[in-house]
Amino acid sequence: MHKPIIVITGAAQRVGLTLALDLQQAGYQVVASYRSERPGLAQLKAAGVLTYQCDLTDLNSLADFISQLQQLGPLRALIHNASDWRKDPPATADSLLAQLQAEAESFDYLQQIHARTPYLLNRALQPQLQLSEQADIIQLSDFVASVGSSKHIAYAASKAALENLTLSFARQFAPKIKVNTIAPALLMFNAGDAEEYKQQALQKSLLQCEPGAQEVVTAVRYILDSRYLTGRVLALDGGRHLNLP
């Protein structure tokens, strides 16, 4: 391949889809992973994006995905976008063991998606990233990693672990590979979100807007263009951290 290659995990919908289409249009060869069939896959394939099905929580599936990537040659960037906004399990009256099992399964799953998979992919693909003149690892975190969440405790903890990986990999992979994280707050609503919920969510930030997926695209382009940014978490939160009572 003559185009610089960028790998994006979880790119079949929402932010990942927008990012993959934008970077493909910008002249990169994007390679996108997806877990299950999504309407966005047709858009990716039509644009020339290479798509691979992969369950990132399954080591056999992940190993197959890595083997396919290792055949592509040097990598310009690896973007960890795959995510799951899963609430903590509700309390159950069944039994203590059942409650512990449900909570442990949820916690372990979120750690696998948000921390274990990036850790494994970063290490496995380091040789290919080092073959590029300039290379980047970009990880997508979340505003709640820095402030916690009352309903998504395990999710917030897994994103905090991802942000910590940024520090370690930035130190280990320098100076050849830059490693940074983007931590958005609200970017875009889901279809069917109630108007009351939307207004409450918008009030949480100073800028009170729904910026959309393009905000992440702009941040990714900035990181790719920079030659002096590594080991940082770039906040995209509309001033939410300052919207104090």
Catalytic residues: 155
Please state, as a whole number, how many other Cβ atoms lie within 10 Å of the Cβ of residue 25.
Answer: 11
Positive or negative: CA dihedral 55, 16, 185, 124: positive
> Could you report how far apart the first and last alpha carbons of the chain are, in Å?
53
Q: Which amino acid is at 98?
A: A
69: left (phi over 0), alpha (psi -120 to 50) or beta: alpha
As given in the structure block, the two tokens for residue 24 are 């493909």
Residue from 111, 240, 115 nearest 186 by CA: 240
Can you name the residues that pair with 178 across neighbouring β-strands? Answer: 136
Can you name the residues that pair with 32 across neighbouring β-strands? Answer: 8, 51
- d(CA 66, CA 129) in angstroms, rounded, equals 13
DSSP 8-state symbol, 213: T
Cβ pair 238, 187 in contact under 8 A:
no
Which residues are CB-contacts of 71 (< 8 A; sequence separation ≥ 6)? none
As given in the structure block, the two tokens for residue 124 are 């496995």
- d(CA 236, CA 37) in angstroms, rounded, equals 29
